[in-house]
Amino acid sequence: MKQVITGGVGKTIAITSNKTYFPYIAEIKDKTIKYIDVFFGMTDADGNWINADPFSFEVSFVRKGSNDIFIDRLAACNLFPEFRLGKRIYIGEKIDMEQSFITTLSQVGENAFFVFYYQDSEAGYEEKESPIRIEPNEATVSFRQNFFEDSRVLVNKKFTGIYPSLVESDERGIQNILNQSLGYDFYLNLVKGSNVFLKNVPVVALLRYYYWLGYIEFADVEIDFTNSWISVPPSIVSADAGKSMVMSFEYK
C-alpha cells in the first residue's frame, strides 16, 4: 500500500514525567498529519540515545481547535512501522501538539523519537503510468551535516520515491556506510527553496525491506540537492569519515 506524502519531520522527545506533553513543532503547525512513526534503539543526530521502549508508553493526540482527544492512550508500539510491517495507521487530522502527550510508568528519563508525515495537497500527484527513472546520489561522511553531490541529472525533476542503498561498496571501492546499520542513526533532510520539507527523518523509515505491507512515496516533490543533507551523530563522524551514504531517487 502506497503512503503518499509531501513532507515529514522527525523529533526526539525527552520523557520527563509520567505525563509528558509534546513540544511545539513549527514544521507541522498547520499541516494535516497523515502518518506517525515511532523509532527506538538508535542514536539521533545530536548524539542522544533513543531508548524509550514503544511497548512501554502510550500516546494521546488532541484534534487542533478542540479539546477532543481523538487518539487516546494508544500503545506506541502501534506506531512502530516494523511492528506493523509498514501498514501505518492513517491519521488525517491537524494535531494540537502542545495539548497532546505521552503517558508511561517505566520510561521516565528515556528518549522517544517520532516522525510526523504530512501531505500539503493531493494536487499534482498522479499514479505512475509511464516508465520511471532511478538515479543515485550520495553524501560523504565529513561532518555531522553532509550535503549531497551536485547531480545535474537530477535537477528540476519531480520525485516519487527514495530508496536507501544497502550495497556494501561501489565499483570505486568506496564503502557505503548505510549497509552497516540499515539506515539507523542517519537522518535525511531534503530542501526545495527555503522549505525543508523532509527534516530529520531516519533513513530506515524509507526501507521497503522491513515495511513490505506499506511504504512511503512522495507526491511529485522537487529537491535542491546541494542544499539537502544527511545528518549523523558525532560518533559516526569520528569513526567513519570518508565513507559514502548512497540513496536512489525515482522520478518520472
Write down the pLDDT at residue 134. Answer: 82
Residues 63/94, Cβ–Cβ less than 8 Å: yes
For residues 233 and 211, what is the distance between their CA atoms, to the nearest angstrom? 25
- Model pTM score: 0.84
Q: pLDDT by residue (tens digit) across 102-146?
A: 999 999 999 999 999 998 765 455 554 555 788 889 999 999 999
Write down the pLDDT at residue 145. Answer: 96
For residues 227 and 191, what is the distance between their CA atoms, to the nearest angstrom? 6
Residues of the chain whose pLDDT is less than 50? 123, 128
Closest CA to 102 of 116, 92, 88, 112: 112
Write down the pLDDT at residue 1. Answer: 60
Write down the pLDDT at residue 123. Answer: 47
Write down the pLDDT at residue 242. Answer: 87
Write down the pLDDT at residue 184. Answer: 84
Three-state secondary structure readout of the chain: CEEEECEEEEEEEECCCCEEECCCCHHHCCCCEEEEEEECCEECCCCCEECCCCCCEEEEEEECCCCCEEEEEEEHHHHCCCCCCCCCCCCCECEEEEEEEEEECCCCCCEEEEEEEECCCCCCCCCCCCCCEEEEEEEECCCCEEEECCCHHHCCCCEEEEEECCCCECCCCCEECHHHHCCCCCEEEEEECCEEEEEEEEHHHHCCCCCCCCEEEECCECCCHHHCEEECCHHHHHHHCCCEEEEEEEEC
End-to-end C-alpha distance for the chain, whole angstroms:
20
C-alpha grid cell, residue 12: 526526539
